[in-house]
Structure 1
Amino acid sequence: MRVRRSRTVSVPIECPPRAVYEFVVKPENLPLWATAFCRSVRQSGDEWIVETPDGPMTIEFVRTNDLGVLDHYVSPAPGVQVFNPMRVVPNADGSEVIFTLFQPPEVSDERFAGDAALVERDLRTLKRVLEQR
């Protein structure tokens, strides 16, 4: 059995979990908070296309649910899917947003650390956006 190195990043948000979930699950909100990843987003048929620093990618969230599961798949190329586990869970009167990254074999430790830093930056932006609403 083989496992990949992982890193979990979380941020507390002073906002109810349902409100956080309903904001994050909408791909059209990505440019408001995932600024390191998303330059813009558009819908094309049933797909959402995200313009990223690495080029266009499709993004697909798992089915809407009442559990706070925001897992999503990003496809940087046809036939390639990257799984991104993400959750929003209650934290006292607010929320905790949790995002786990897995290091692909072809990604250096330095790049992986940089990717984790960008995810943390985006989650902090999400916190700021939601707490200012």
Structure 2
Amino acid sequence: MTDVLHISVTIRRRHDEVYEFARDARNLPRWAAGLAQSEVRPDGDAWLADAPFGAVRVKFAEHNSFGVLDHDVTLESGVTVHNPMRVLRRGDASEFVFTLFRQPGMSDDDFERDRAAVAADLQTLKRLLDPSTP
């Protein structure tokens, strides 16, 4: 299996609207169950959340006009995982792309579970923001 996957979804909504919604960490519990299962709390320039795998600290890239939503997730162990994420302009719609890297020592089954969780989160985001989604 590969060590990196680009998981994406088309959202029929303007790039800036998708970006602003996804960048607001208070919205994470609404669409990113793999990262935030309850209300997130501010922590300086970052956010604290309860993930399925424990408490995490999430820090997004600075606000920008390029759709870059990269974020670092610091685990309870102190390990920080960098997650590249982008909202790309696609006419009147957007392409939302999450880059998933296999973590050191991760089995194929665990990597597949991560892929499925990210894909499910992106589908939830699409259902929330895309008026054409049933």
**TM-score, normalising length: structure 2:** 0.90
More deviation, 77-86/57-66: 77-86
Q: CA deviation at 1:38?
A: 1.4
- Tell me how many residue pairs correspond in the alignment: 129
Residue 106 (1) aligns with residue 110 (2):
no
Structure-2 separation of matches of 1:73 and 1:60: 5
CA RMSD of aligned residues (A): 1.4
Structure-2 separation of matches of 1:36 and 1:75: 14
Partner secondary structure for residue 77 of structure 1: coil
Counterpart position of 1:49: 48
Question: Counterpart of 1:20 in structure 2: which amino acid?
Answer: V
Partner secondary structure for residue 126 of structure 1: helix
In structure 1, runs of 5+ residues without a counterpart are none
**TM-score, normalising length: structure 1:** 0.91
Counterpart position of 2:71: 72
Question: Counterpart of 1:76 in structure 2: which amino acid?
Answer: L
Match of 1:16 among 14, 17, 26: 14
CA displacement 1:71-122 (0-9 Å, x = unmatched) = 0000013542100000000122100000001101221111001101100000
Residues 36 and 78 (structure 1), Cα distance of their counterparts in 2 relative to 1, 3 Å cut: closer
Percentage identity across paired residues of the two chains: 44
Partner secondary structure for residue 75 of structure 2: strand
Structure-1 separation of matches of 2:12 and 2:116: 22
Structure-1 separation of matches of 2:49 and 2:105: 22
Structure-1 separation of matches of 2:67 and 2:105: 31
In structure 2, runs of 5+ residues without a counterpart are none
User: Per residue, is there more strand in 1 or in 2?
Assistant: 1
Runs of 4+ aligned residues of structure 1 deviating over 2 Å after TM superposition are 44-47
